Amino acid sequence: MVLATKLSPAELAPELYTQLSVVNFRVTPASLEEQLLNQIVAHEAPHLEEQRSVLVTSIAKDLELKAAIQERILLLLANAKGDILADDTFLDTLRDSRITYAAIERRMEEASATADRLEETRRLYKLLSHRGTLLYLVLQALSHLNPFYQWSLEGFKFQLQSTLQSCQDKSENRGQSLQELFTWEVYCSTCRGLFESHKLVLAFMIAKALDTEAGNVPRKMLEFLLRGITEESEGHACPPQVRFGMLRYHVRLPHCKTLL
């Protein structure tokens, strides 16, 4: 029997894990970022993506050929009888294999150098794919506000494709322009399906995700803002009297202005 559910595996009861084989098909942040990066490169630099596909196929064929050569040599050694050095078939095969193996090594070195250049170019678009991953994770977290808030990955990719096509900036700052435009379009399109009271929550979640990723807000201070005091301190939780001057001093501390 096979059961499928859209519930997160964390929502399953612990005793069910001993009776079921749970397979999680949810996309991981790393794989999602790679998918978005492939989509961006395919639109922004289609020749690079095509060259990369050809390169991957070429490397796979060369690796398969190397394995076949090794298998052929091992088979001849296993079936050899008498003096191997007197076997002309084995010597001819070994000589041809050495020539082919050297040619494969040269091709793979060239392919590796080409792959490094392609990866360097793809890295230029990595910031946009990373921004897209953060936004998609924010959208997935909206289901905690309301179970009806479900977002399709295909729809998210369609939104990204629409942003790539509509962006008019062709300068060197196109990457930054795409990030800002995509963030705004995701927010606007998402707000159409939210209750009015949740639109500000979405804005806060996006701002929190971006600021946390940029390191603008320390993690401990953010947890204090969201959760408050989680452990009881010794003595009084608050001092019996707080002077206004001391409060003004605390506001001047680093990072406090971002929280107050």
| Domain residue spans of the chain | 33-228
Q: Radius of gyration (Cα) for the chain, nearest Å?
A: 29
Whole-angstrom distance, CA of residue 37 vs CA of residue 124: 10
Is 60 exceeded by the pLDDT of residue 149?
yes
Give 9's pLDDT tier (boundaries 50, 70, 90).
low
CA distances from 252 to 109, 226, 228 (A): 57, 21, 20
Query: Could you read off the pLDDT of 24-33 as tens digits, one per residue?
Result: 777 888 999 9
* pLDDT reported for residue 178: 92
Burial 210-221 (b: 16+ CB within 10 A, else e): beeeeeebeeee
Give 251's pLDDT tier (boundaries 50, 70, 90).
low
Whole-angstrom distance, CA of residue 203 vs CA of residue 187: 7
Higher pLDDT, 100 or 244: 100
Lowest mean pLDDT among 112-121, 191-200, 241-250: 241-250
